[in-house]
Every structure is written in structure tokens, then in C-alpha cells.
Structure 1
Amino acid sequence: MILTVTPNPSVDHTLEIAALTRGDVLRVQRSGLHAGGKGVNVSRVLRRNGQATRAVLPVGGPEGGRLTALLAEHGVVTVPVPIAAAIRGNVTIAESDGTTTKLNVPGPVLAEDEGAALLAAVAAELALGPRWLVAAGSLPSGLPADFYARLARIAADSGVPMAVDSSGAPLEIAALAGGIDLLKPNHEELAGLIGRDLPTIGDVAEAAREVQRWGNSTILVTLGGHGALLADAEHTWWAGAPPPVPRSTVGAGDCALAGYLSGDAPPAERLRRAVAWGTAAVTLPGTTVPGPDDIDPGAVGVVTDPDPALVVKEL
């Protein structure tokens, strides 16, 4: 079982339109309602592909009830932590050419005792011995910026490896504190973490090595339409697939993380699986997650210790 925690979940309203034009009245071609948040997305795609998962998340207000109901429809077991404020309702606008615009609400303000209850809920689930803990997404107001670093200490005490997928201060603090088994920044997040541009694969690999030297184990860097790079203690690997016809990029990185964690295999094969799951997600509308029939690992090429001079945007 893979345990996820999403401190700032949402209900995502997805609107598909031909093209977004400011100031116009636009006709919506399709609309949908999905459970959202990075850790929630990881649980959804794992469950869609037959993996056992449990999702810890704060729940409050009408959207909280919708969120747990949506997850139940997909067979995701939730561990709700009641909060007084309402969780977010976000809007995703998906254009026919694959361009995605997200309107994200800040989210609730958690009281100190609610944050403590969220930590306690994760600790109780860790006692059940999951294969991984995935801590993902932004932090709502009221939670300390070192929340993921605190979770990492609890996970280490429980003997459970932890993956972190976040951005800004929560990612930086967790990475600098060290002890993270898998960090999954995207290209821009890694550049922000290191404080410099990363135009080549060599730059990305060296940045990943620098983050490892802070005391972290494995770095999985998603590169958008240019594949992904994996760095462990011995090697780096790059993997990519033919660019699909995109419908929505929302949640693609979450699906890639889930693919990597979904089963044991040599690093190159786990990376292949990650890129296959992420690529499949891009072909689906809104925050729809791919199932087995959507995923094609055979279309993904993997290169060990790629040429450091390769330009990321040309891959």
C-alpha cells in the first residue's frame, strides 16, 4: 500500500473549450468534476492501475464532502481529518490545443490543533507499514513551512521511505533538511531550488547531484514534454517518448511520480514507467488519470548517463 498526504486538496471543476479569449462569452464543450491535489492525484492513478493506496487529507465544508465522495467512486480509501474551514474548489480551463489554465483558490486556514491532527493521522497510518509515504502539493495557511520536513522525520522513525513533490518554501526546507528518499521537482522547481537556470541535461544532472549532497537519496526531475531525468547514487538516466497530442497537462507530473513508485524494478525501468504514465495523462481531459489501456511503456526510450551537452528544450 502507498500512503499519500495532501495538505491542501481540492475539488477541481474542469471546463473544456475551443480557445480561451478574454472578455468573450465562451461555449463549454465538456465539463467535469474531479478530486484534486497532488497527493490525491497520485492515489487516484495508483488505484486506477490496481495499486492499493490510502489518502490522508483535511476535509471541511461542502467541497470536503464532494471530495471524499468522488474518491470513493474511484475506490480510493480516504483518511479524512476534519477541519472547520472549507477546502478549495479550483477551476481548470482546458483548450483544444492542450493549453491548460488553472485558477487555484488559496485554500483553508488550518488551526494549530488541526495541523497536529493531520500529522497524527499520518503517523497512525505509517504504523500500518505502507511501502511509501507520498507528501505532495502546496501547504494551506496555518501549516508551518517545515511541515514536510517534520513528516520526513516521522516517516524515518517508522522505517517508511518518503517521496516529496512540492514547490517553494516547503520543497526547499524539506530538501535542505535532507533525509528525503525521493524528491520529484519539475525543471522549473529544481532551477528555483538551486538558484540558477538549467538549460542542458548536464545542468539538470549536476543540480540533482547538489540536492543529493544535502542528504537526499534519489531525484526524479520531470521535464514537461522533454521527458524526465533520474539521479541515484551511481548514475543518471534520461527517458522520453514521442510527443502526444495533448489535451491537458494537469496532473501529468503526479502520474509520473505514481508510475515510478508503483512497483519495484531497476531504476531505468522505473523511470520508463514514470514517463509512460505521465505521457498518458497528457492525452486525457482535465485531471482524468490514465488506466492500463492508456499507458505504453514500450514507446519510452531510456538513456543511461546521457550526454551532458544535450539541451533540454531540444529533447
Structure 2
Amino acid sequence: MILTVTPNPSLDRTYEVPSLDRGAVLRATGDRVDPGGKGVNVSRAVAAAGVFTTAVLPLGGASGTLIAELLGAQGVDVTAVTVAGQTRSNISLVEPDGTLTKINAPGPELTAEESGLLLETVRTAAGDPVWIAACGSLPLGLAPEWYADLVARAREAGAKVALDTSGPALTAALQARPDLIKPNAAELAQAVGRPLATLGEVARAAQELRSRGAGAVLASLGADGQLLVSAEGTFHGTAPVAAVRSDVGAGDASLAGFLIAGGTGPGALASALAHGAAAVQLPGSAMPVPADLRPEAVRVTENPPPDLRLSTPATP
């Protein structure tokens, strides 16, 4: 079982538009509403693969109620912490070439009591799952050290923790020694405070974060694939994509694929790549089902050429 924690979930409304013209009336060619938030998306992808998952998340208001209903319909078990504020709604505008414009609302401010209850709810459930995936930005009211507290409590309960966040929340959580972190190239560059232009530089940055507490680093590199740096070695993989329809939630689908496949080694990396590639070819934040995957097209190599340059260098 995979448990996810999403401190700042959302209701995601996605509109497909012919073009994005500022000041014009845009007529959508397609639209959808999905439960959103990085951990929520991980649970959706896990459930789509037929694996049991529980999503722990604070919910409030009509949008929170709708999120719980939508997740239940997708086979996700929901453990909700009721909060006074209204759960946020986000809007995504997707153009035909895959260009995404996203408007993320800040979300409600959690009280100290709500924050503590959320942590206690995770701690109570932490003894059962194989993995806990703690994902996304922190809402107002939660200090950057909140994730570090969560990781420490989960590890004390014997659970393995995958963390997907960025900025001060990521750096603060390293001291609690999460088993896995999943930054993208820009987040990794920010964490080490220097630009990253080659696979070798990405690998060294990942090793630096491992020395600061991370057990393994799964770095998303966009069109350049993904790099896994762990005690088992350094592995790089790519997966072909015919056409990008929407990259909303693709990284979350990738993390789900990694955890479903055991959360370690090149086999899990291959699963992550297959899930991520499938997700970007689906509308909105739709999560792939097994029929969408093309594992035979994934390529994974050990110790990739360190001088291989990234298509888009990452800056702090």
C-alpha cells in the first residue's frame, strides 16, 4: 500500500484552447475537472495501476467535498482532515502544442491545531504502507520544517518516505533523512545553489543532497529523461513521447510508477519513465492506466556520459 500526503490539495480545472490571446474571449475545445495536488496525483496514478492507496489531505468547503468524491470514484481511499478554510481551485490553459499556462491559488491557511492533526493522522497511518509519498507545496500556516517533522515521525513508525517538494521545505527536510527525494532540474539547482548544464553536474548535485541526508535522488530532467542517483549507482533513462498534450501531473505519475515498481533501482526508474511519458500524452491531469504504458520503448543506462549536455540548463 502507498500512502500519500498532500498538505495543499486543489480542484484542478483544465481547459484546452486553440491559442492564448491576452484580453480575448477564449473558447475551450475541451475541458475537465480533476482532484489535484502532487500527492493526490500520485494516489490517482497508483490506483489507476490497480494498487491500493490512501490519500491523506486537509479538505474544506464545497471544493474539498468534490475532491473526496472524485477520488473515491477513481478508487482512491481518502483520509480527510477537515479544515475551516476552502480548499483551493487551480486553472490550467493548454494550447495545442502542449504549452501550459497555470494559475495556482494559494489555498487556505491552516491553524496550528489543523497542522498538528494532519501530522498525527499521518503518524497513525504510517505503520501500514510500504511507502509514504509526501508531496507538493506547503499551505499558509505550515513552517518549512513541517515536512521534516513528518519525515521523522514516519521513519520512527517504520515507513519509507518519498518527498517531492522544493525550496526551504526540501532543504529543511534533508536532516530528517527521507528515503527518496524527487526534484526537477531547476529545484535541484536551487538546492545546491549553482547552475546545472550536464548530466555529470546533475549527478554531483544529487550526490551532494545524498550527503546531506537524502537516501536516493530521482531527478526529472524534462525532455532529457530522468536521473537516479542512489547507493546502487547512477542510472539515466529516457522514454519517447509522440506528442505532448499536457504535462500537468506527469511528474507525479512518474513518482507513482517508481514507487509501484519497488522504489529502488533501474527497474523502478524504467517504470517511472513509462508512466511519465504516458501521462504527458493524456489530457489535463489524467493519469495513465496500464494500457497507456510503453515499457518496451524505455531506455535505461548505468553511469551515463557525464559530459552529456541538458537541452535546457537549470539555474538556481
Sort the TM-score into its range (normalised by shorter chain): over 0.9
Matched, 1:186 2:180: no
Instruction: Give the whole-Å Cα distance in 1 for the aligned partners of 2:213 and 2:286.
Output: 35
**Other-structure match for 1:26:** 26
Question: Is the 2:258–2:264 Cα contact (8 Å) retained in structure 1?
Answer: no
Question: Is the 1:252–1:278 Cα contact (8 Å) retained in structure 2?
Answer: yes
2:253 counterpart (238, 252, 255): 255
Matched, 1:311 2:300: no
**Other-structure match for 1:11:** 11
The aligned runs of 1:99-118 (5 Å cut-off) are 99-118=99-118
**Other-structure match for 2:157:** 158
Instruction: Give the whole-Å Cα distance in 1 for the aligned partners of 2:96 and 2:260.
Output: 31
Question: Is the 1:178–1:214 Cα contact (8 Å) retained in structure 2?
Answer: no
AA aligned opposite 2:47: R
Q: Which ranges in structure 1 are unaligned for 5 or more consecutive residues?
A: none
**Other-structure match for 1:148:** 147
| TM-score under structure 2 length normalisation | 0.97
- Post-superposition offset of 1:37: 0.1
AA aligned opposite 1:48: A
Instruction: Give the whole-Å Cα distance in 1 for the aligned partners of 2:141 and 2:279.
Output: 32
Question: Is the 2:149–2:176 Cα contact (8 Å) retained in structure 1?
Answer: no
The aligned runs of 1:75-224 (5 Å cut-off) are 75-127=75-127, 129-175=128-174, 177-224=175-222
Matched, 1:37 2:44: no
Deviations 1:62-100 (A, max 9, x none): 101111011011010000000000010100111111111
Matched, 1:226 2:224: yes
Deviates more, 1:262-271 or 1:182-191: 262-271
Matched, 1:271 2:269: yes
Deviation beyond 4 Å, 4+ runs, structure 1: none
Instruction: Give the whole-Å Cα distance in 1 for the aligned partners of 2:258 and 2:264.
Output: 11
- Post-superposition offset of 1:297: 1.0
Question: Is the 1:244–1:279 Cα contact (8 Å) retained in structure 2?
Answer: no
Instruction: Give the whole-Å Cα distance in 1 for the aligned partners of 2:124 and 2:279.
Output: 32
Matched, 1:64 2:64: yes
Q: Which ranges in structure 2 are unaligned for 5 or more consecutive residues?
A: none
Deviations 1:215-255 (A, max 9, x none): 22110001112100000114100000223300001111101
The number of residue pairs the alignment matches comes to 313
Deviates more, 1:17-26 or 1:134-143: 17-26
Instruction: Give the whole-Å Cα distance in 2 for the aligned partners of 1:72 and 1:243.
Output: 30
Deviations 1:269-295 (A, max 9, x none): 110110110010000011111111111
- Post-superposition offset of 1:178: 4.2
What value does the CA root-mean-square deviation take over the aligned residues?
1.3
| TM-score under structure 1 length normalisation | 0.97
Instruction: Give the whole-Å Cα distance in 2 for the aligned partners of 1:308 and 1:314.
Output: 16
- Post-superposition offset of 1:156: 1.2
Deviations 1:20-48 (A, max 9, x none): 11111111001111000000000000000
- Post-superposition offset of 1:314: 7.9
Question: Is the 1:208–1:219 Cα contact (8 Å) retained in structure 2?
Answer: yes
| Aligned-partner SS, 1:269 | helix
Instruction: Give the whole-Å Cα distance in 2 for the aligned partners of 1:27 and 1:266.
Output: 45
AA aligned opposite 1:134: A
Question: Is the 1:166–1:185 Cα contact (8 Å) retained in structure 2?
Answer: yes
Question: Is the 2:278–2:293 Cα contact (8 Å) retained in structure 1?
Answer: yes
| Aligned-partner SS, 1:199 | strand
Question: Is the 1:53–1:77 Cα contact (8 Å) retained in structure 2?
Answer: yes
Deviations 1:192-224 (A, max 9, x none): 001011100000000000000012211000111
Instruction: Give the whole-Å Cα distance in 2 for the aligned partners of 1:171 and 1:268.
Output: 24
